[in-house]
Structure 1
């Protein structure tokens, strides 16, 4: 690079570094800043997808149930499970053709914040899974949602949210998102107050 070209590069870098400040110096005469403020700029960069990994992520750490319109003698409260995504960065040739994977959910009882009696989730909680993304358009399903679980059936202990349909080989190299409608059903006589429970989601491979 010649000295002249280096000087030219230095000048261009100087303009880039000055940024907005260069505008105040354009034109004759003196210039001053009448007022100024600042803008913070931030970015969060996730780790690059690691090859050869089957991983589970959840879009948010909490869900809120709100009461539905009154119907019958019970009270019902509904909400939505944050989006759950299974990402499989494995190559198909690295996956056992006889293997499969699935996501299971379990929930604790609902505990009151002021000593109210617990609401037993096995008797009162249910969910309704659905697939949001990942299956090819117009093609065979790669993943499928788990079965619906109605409140009061005692079935919500290890409930399936989504699963690979056949061999996990078919799902290799893809990302699959699911959610579920959440439903809590209590007697009308339930003690008022705030309650909380924890859903645990587990990605298993067989």
Structure 2
């Protein structure tokens, strides 16, 4: 076979392949719709039948206290808010007489800017709990205000937890209505820090640990 004959043969093969490919495409687009039908898709989501859980979630992992006006000329005072704490009960069966409580305890405030300032006792940190959303019942109670060691009063122990963690919110042991209705409740607290005027300036950090008990 001469060179020209070989080239002509390859061109012919390519042309045949192209014709076949176009032919298939042409046949597919030329099909006419003969019939169509629909299929209804059904499903059923059954109610939860598991035991469910009693769980706590906190809206944020940090909060900042900013200085405000002090009502005592010998102190500096800082204010902020605890991120919302939500308790959710999804249990289908709640033990008779069950109750839950959320408590909190803070670590000392330590320097975070490398200035070497001595730690500030968590006794200078206090809170005022409140129930933001009582849920379907009103049998959820906030804890008492915890004042700082610079305050006067019977509960001026701060949040360092010397006598144990402090109460944020709780249900009542004899509250049958609350225990019979699974739901969600939200608590909060105003935070305040009071320190002496001679407290070294700098950035400080503390960890406020919240715990859910039943």
TM-score by length of 2: 0.67
User: Does structure 1 conserve the Cα–Cα contact (< 8 Å) formed by 2:135 and 2:183?
Assistant: no
Extract unaligned runs of 5+ from structure 1: 10-47
In the alignment, which residue of structure 1 is the partner of 2:171? 164
* Distance in 2 (alpha carbons) for counterparts of 1:88 and 1:173: 5
Residue-by-residue CA offset, 1:43-91 (whole Å, 9 max, x unaligned): xxxxx9x752000000000010000114321000010000000000112
User: Does structure 2 conserve the Cα–Cα contact (< 8 Å) formed by 1:97 and 1:167?
Assistant: no
Q: 2:148 aligned with 1:151, yes or no?
A: yes
Q: 2:206 aligned with 1:202, yes or no?
A: no
User: Does structure 2 conserve the Cα–Cα contact (< 8 Å) formed by 1:63 and 1:79?
Assistant: yes
In the alignment, which residue of structure 1 is the partner of 2:85? 84
* Distance in 2 (alpha carbons) for counterparts of 1:112 and 1:3: 78
Extract unaligned runs of 5+ from structure 2: 1-32, 39-47, 150-155
The secondary structure found in structure 1 opposite 2:36 is: helix
In the alignment, which residue of structure 1 is the partner of 2:59? 59
RMSD across aligned C-alpha pairs, in angstroms? 2.1
Number of aligned positions between the proteins: 157
Task: Give, in angstroms, the shift of residue 101 of structure 1.
Answer: 0.8
CA spacing shift, 1:198–1:5, aligned 2, 3 Å: same
* Distance in 2 (alpha carbons) for counterparts of 1:150 and 1:167: 29
Which structure is larger by alpha-carbon Rg, 1 or 2?
Answer: 2
In the alignment, which residue of structure 2 is the partner of 1:106? 105
User: Does structure 2 conserve the Cα–Cα contact (< 8 Å) formed by 1:131 and 1:162?
Assistant: yes
The secondary structure found in structure 2 opposite 1:184 is: strand
In the alignment, which residue of structure 1 is the partner of 2:24? none
What pairs up with 1:1-206 in 2 under 5 angstroms? 3-5=34-36, 52-72=52-72, 73-91=74-92, 94-113=93-112, 114=114, 115-122=116-123, 124-136=124-136, 141-152=138-149, 153-156=156-159, 157=161, 158-167=165-174, 170-171=178-179, 172-205=181-214
* Distance in 2 (alpha carbons) for counterparts of 1:163 and 1:3: 68
